[in-house]
Each structure stands twice: as C-alpha cells, then as structure tokens.
Structure 1
Amino acid sequence: MVKPATAADGRWDADPLLGLVAGCYVAAAVAPPVVFAGDAGLSLAAGGLYGLLLGTVLAVTAVVWVAVARARSLVVRLGRSRARWLLAVAPVGYALGGFALLGQTGIAGVLAFFAGLGAALLGIALAAMAHTRYVAATVDEASVEWDGRTGWPERARRRWRRGAWVVIGVTAVGFAVGVLTDRWWLRVAAQALFAGGVGFAQTGQERRYVCTEAGVEQRLPVARRLFGWATFDGYTRTDEAFVLHRPWRTDLRFAVADIDDPEVLADVLRRHLD
C-alpha cells in the first residue's frame, strides 16, 4: 500500500535532486532540435547558438523540476513498473539517430549524439530514483520483521567474481581490437559489456536487507530496491546460506555466517514463502 501524499510533496523544493535530474534528462532531448532550428532556420552564429542552448536547458530544467514536484504519485507509479528502464533505453536510439544524421544536421547531430548518451546515464539514475521513492512510499518501517547486513557466502562470491573478470578481460581485448582495426561498433560494444562485467563483479557484496510485509528490501547507500514476496518461488537453506529463488533472475543469497540469529530470518521466510 502506497502512503498518502503530504502537503510538502507539491513544493518545488520537496525533492530537489529528482527534479534536477529529471529536468536535465528532458533538456537533453529538447536542446538538439532547438539548436538545429536556430542553426538552419535562424542562421545564428556560434555565440547565438550557445545562448540558445543554455537558455533552453535552463528553461526546460526549471519547468520539469516544478512539474515533477507536483506529480509525486506519477513518480511512484513509474518506480513500481519495469517500464522505468525505458528512460535509459530510449536515449540510446536518440544518440544513434543523431550520429546517423550528422551529415544533414551538423552541430545539432553531434549535440544529439552526446546528449543521448548523457540522457541514457541520467535515465539509469532516474529509474533508480523513481524506484527508491516507490519503496519509500510502500514500505512501512513499523512492519520490519528482520533487518541485517549480509552478502553471498565467500566461496560463491569468489566463483562469481572469477566469471566477471573473464568478461572484463574479453571486453578489454575487444576494445583494443576495435581501436586497432578502427571498428567503432566494436569499441562501443566492448565498453558496454565492460560496464556490465564491472557490475557483475559487485554481485554478492554485503548489503543491508530488510524484510517487511511488502517483501525483501535491499538498502544501498544512495538507493533502495524492493523485491516483492511474489517475485520469489521459494527458498532453500544450506549450511552456508539462505537462497531465495527468483525465476529467470539471479537468486538472492544470505550468508548464514553474517546473520546474528539465523532462526529469526528462517521464521520470516517460512511465513512468506512456504
């Protein structure tokens, strides 16, 4: 159940970081067409184009900032849906479109390419921020059933890290080959896979987990993730770990050695997953 909005939620400064990131995200999409219009339609000089770009970014950011502050419920609904990741995917197509049209659009195409890549990174941040706000609006702190810091058992963590280092090594070689053979697509693919390998290497690290009626929450220093109980199809307990099974996804593993009283967690898991 989502908590009701408060009187402060509609203030423009109620959530300034979210408003700023959302504003920059939209501005990255709007600015290149505006610059293209100023260049092709108004024949503005470099100084005029820079002023137009800066004014557009500031105006769009301000408008979106205020709009986001007044749309808390929309942000929460977005954070609940997997569609939030489209915020990161869509700008990649935008960047590729700008790259493909460099000959026709000139400086605007260059701007669209880099703005699209920047917006993709902002989209990842926005998706995480929206989900964090959904979790904050959903989880009742009074209903905490178990709270602790744990990660994967060390042996399983080492195996996963070895696989991640293989991915990182292969992508480093791929990037080098792309540079030597002047294949830009190979360089881009290698960099994307390299980032994925670095992310995989972090899997299983010790995190804070909180179990409530809503599900299992993972609390990171700057974000929160909620795994509803319905996303699991059961659990098993071994001498080393509690393993929460997720179809088609990486299982959650809680090392028994990290947990002060494993029986408390076992009772919670039996209640929700048996």
Structure 2
Amino acid sequence: MNQTKSSLVGHILYAIGVLLALALAAWVRFHILAIYEDNKGLLEASSRTQTAMVDARKILKGQGFSGLFGSETGGYNADDTGFAIYIASVWSLTGETTLSSLQTATVYLDLLALLFLILALSRVFNRTTGIIAGILYALYLPVPIQIAHSNNHVLVVQFALLIISWILLLPRHWIAQTVIVLLVGLFFLFANTVRSVFGPFAFLIGFFLFVKYGKRRGLLLGLLFLAVVMVGNLCLKVAMGNPSHQVWHALYVGLGEFPNPYGLTGLDTEGNEEAGRVSPGIDMYTSTDDYMAVIKHRALARI
C-alpha cells in the first residue's frame, strides 16, 4: 500500500515538474515575443524569412512548387526550400498569413520539442534529469530570440530535438519501431529541406539504431532509416533542383570555425566570394550546381 502511494506521489511530482518546465518556457518565449512586438522598428524579420514568407503566400495561392523551387528558377537558396513549405503549412492551419502567427506557432512547436526532450531524457536517465534538462532548455535564451526573428535556424534546434527524442522513445514492439522509424525518416527528410544541415547525421542515427537494437533488427531499422532519407533526398533533388550544395558549402565555410591560414571566419559570403574568384559569375544562388562543383574542389584543396 505504501509503495503504491509512494509511486502515485512520484507520478504527481513528475507531472508537476513537467508542467512547470513547460510553463516557464512558455512565459520566457511569449515575454520575448512581446518585447519584439514593442520594438518592431528596431527588430525586423531576416531577409531569409521575408523571402520565404513571399514564397509561402504563392504556395497558398495555388501556384505550385515548380515555379518556386525548380532547378531552372535560380534566385532562391536551395538550402531553404522547406522553410517556405513550413510557413505555408503553419498559415494554412492558423488561417492567418502574418509574421505573428508564424512566431506563435513556432513557440508551440518549441514547447512540443521540450516535452519530448523531457520524456526522452527521463527514459534514458531518470525523471529528475529530464526535468532539470527541460528547465535549462526553457531558460536558453537564444531559442526564443531566434523565434522572435522567425529565422529557420531555430527550426534546426527544434527538429533535432524531436528527431533525437523520437528515436530514444522507440517502443519495444518491432512493428511499432518500424513504422516510427519510417515516419522519423520522412520527418528528417523534410527537416533537411528547411535547413540542409541534417544530412550527415543520418548515418549517425542509422549506426545508433544498429548498435541499440542488435545486428538483425538494428541493421534493418538503420537501413530503413537511411533508405528513406537517401531515396527521398534523391527524389527531391530531381523534383526541386536541390543539389548537394549543403555538404561542400558547409564544409568550406565551416573551416572558418577553426584556426586557419586562409582568413576564413565562417561567413556564408566567403564561399560565394571564393567561387567568384575561381570562376567569375558563379554564385550559390543563380548557378548552384556550378557553385557546388567549384566549392567542393576548393574545400578539398584546403583540407
């Protein structure tokens, strides 16, 4: 009887802790949004966001995707094709085509990511660890600041938390595992179109599944995940003109994150400038495939 009562008290305290973490996160995020709202003249949405909002309105008007994201269109950053789709999806659900509705929806997405983070860490470690991590994330200010700016960079954090949490929360039954891994693979594919930094992590997730669930089931789950991501990415490349720009561009620009003799500082524009020096007239917006070929060669040469 005492054990049952103690277990019930533990469940109640855990639920209270989860709700407190969510409430704290919501208060911080909406408070920062209110500050942003009062200072719109000083803080504007990024040009990347404004471009994606324009494209999202075109999508909602039924103009389709080929006119926006085809390889022949140029002028649109191939890294961000999914960002406009995300915005259009949010607006179709809210019924509003405003920056405010986008910000609010992204806050709720962040709270969902926080909830799954707590659940995942509670399962892997313990409930106390899950709640502490949730509170720390609730107070992590760069996230709500990026939400206020409506930049797709914050979606990288939220999508990553969701993907990792779902993988850690896989149920024991193999059928449920297979279905969820398939769905997570599709979500991973979409996340990579919103901001194409996820690609290399597909192999880490596949390897984790192999190690976690054994040679037979783990191998099947890992291969299923990789197959969904790789085949899906190939289909997107054909349909949307989305080349392997993210790998070589990120690798070249990423050299600036470390001490280097080339004067690189990690800015996107440095890749564009280097490609222009090698082959005048080439840039990552209007000639993405040519840009990728040049920057791949320059990245390998400097490594």
Query: Higher RCO, 1 or 2 (CA under 8 Å, sep at least 6)?
Result: 2
TM-score, length-normalised on structure 1? 0.31
- Greater fraction strand: 1
TM-score, length-normalised on structure 2? 0.29
Specify the structure having the higher radius of gyration (Cα): 1
